[in-house]
Amino acid sequence: MTVIESRAEARAPRSNSWARLFIDHLRKKGRALAKKIIPGGLVQEVSRYRSLRKPERSLYLKLKVKNSLTLNSRRVPSGARSFVFVCFGNIMRSPMSEALFREAIARRANAGVKSCSAGLNATPGKGAHPWAIAAAQDFGISLEGHQATLLTRAMVDEADAILAMDVQNQVEFLSRYPDAAGRLFLLGAYSGTTSRAIEIRDPFFGNLDETRRCYRLLQTCTQNLADSLDLKSTLSAATSNGGR
């Protein structure tokens, strides 16, 4: 081997190392530029889409289109009396929805109305997120003792209405309980701000302020949901029973 050849071999690994560093640098720059150009909501949308199983992705796109065309804003029957609020992990949105809904019902008539919350991917026993606990205090609600519950077939069968927070919740629910499609609704249909159902985004990917904004929206939706129910007969029946 000549001196020139040995020097070339000695330089090769170093050149390859520099090339890798340069490529890594370009990738980082590209990701940083993409974050500036591509809206954060679109990035999250792609992430949600990829997190779904392949058979669920087409349903996700179908529901997204229906939602944009105001075809996904069905309302709960006014005679419903058993409710389950569902989200991803049952540590932020659904437990607060349950608490707010119970307050709204208690101001009207709570006789015969049942509600609970659960997560489609909950870790049973897990506590509420710290942001959830802090934000709930602004509404006079404590989530300190909350423990996450995983949605079960029994809960689905006993419910008159299952209230989901977003399209991802809908897709995951329908893939597991297709027979209960007629009892599944988006809680955002009660936002009162548009003719279509609003997806109530998971504040888990935001911060405390986003959690507070989410909870204000949940308060509006749960109050409107309670207002939509026909509780007069329930109230009169309860009054009648109490007078005997």
230 is catalytic: no
7 is catalytic: no
What are residue 164's DSSP bridge partners? 86, 186
Q: Are 60 and 52 in contact (CB under 8 A)?
A: yes
87 is catalytic: yes
Q: Parallel, antiparallel, or unpaired for β 114-119 and 161-164?
A: unpaired
| List 116, 166, 202, 221, catalytic entry | 202
Q: Say how far apart CA 202 and CA 45 lie, in whole Å.
A: 12
Look-up of token digits 């009660």: 190
What are residue 115's DSSP bridge partners? 83
- Which tokens go with 42? 């679109």
| Helix axes of 93-106 and 130-137: crossing angle, nearest 10 degrees | 20
Q: Are 167 and 63 in contact (CB under 8 A)?
A: yes
Q: Are 124 and 152 in contact (CB under 8 A)?
A: no
Give residues with Cβ within 8 angstroms of 183, minimum separation 6.
Answer: 156, 159, 160, 161, 162
DSSP class of residue 125 equals: T
Q: Are 122 and 86 in contact (CB under 8 A)?
A: no
Active-site annotation, residues? 87, 93, 202
